[in-house]
């Protein structure tokens, strides 16, 4: 079963764009990770300090494994000083739709 996450990262004041750049780098590194189907970085006018990530994985173990990748570990380190808060808004099972390569 596919595994999806929708989460919110709140940046320290004035650090949202810097955090978004780190997460875009994370998304870039996912290009080489076959079992990551989607990793989309979003901002929001209604929450100017937040960065939202919508990600879809082949399954939960694929997501789990990605946390061990050096590239991901480095990005987590880079992001930490910018992050005031983290919220996992939804744990999902994507079942299909446009743009979801299975």
Tokens 């780098």 belong to residue: 25
CB of 84 to its own copies, least distance (A): 18
Taking CB under 8 A as the binding criterion, the range among 37-45, 61-69, 74-82 that sits at the site for its own copies is: 37-45
User: Three-class SS of residue 8?
Assistant: strand
d(CA 50, CA 27): 17
Residue 46 sits in the site that holds its own copies (CB under 8 A): yes
Output the smallest distance, CB 88 to its own copies, in A: 10
Compute φ and ψ for 10, nearest 5 degrees: -100, 125
Of 68, 70, 98, 102, the one binding its own copies by CB under 8 A: 98
**Residue 86 lies near its own copies (rule: CB under 8 A):** no
The binder of its own copies chosen from 12, 18, 27, 78 (CB under 8 A): 27
Residue 61 DSSP symbol: H
Please report whether residue 45 would count as binding its own copies according to CB under 8 A: yes
Give Dmax over CA atoms of the chain in angstroms: 39
């Amino acid at each position: 079963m596919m595994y999806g996450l929708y989460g919110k990262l709140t940046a320290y004041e004035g650090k949202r764009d810097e955090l978004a750049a780190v997460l875009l780098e994370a998304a870039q590194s996912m290009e080489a990770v076959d079992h990551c189907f989607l990793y989309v970085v979003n901002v929001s006018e209604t929450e100017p300090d937040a960065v939202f990530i919508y990600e879809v994985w082949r399954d939960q173990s694929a997501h789990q494994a990605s946390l061990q990748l050096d590239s991901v570990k480095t990005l987590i380190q880079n992001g930490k000083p910018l992050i005031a808060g983290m919220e996992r808004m939804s744990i999902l099972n994507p079942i299909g739709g446009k743009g979801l390569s299975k």
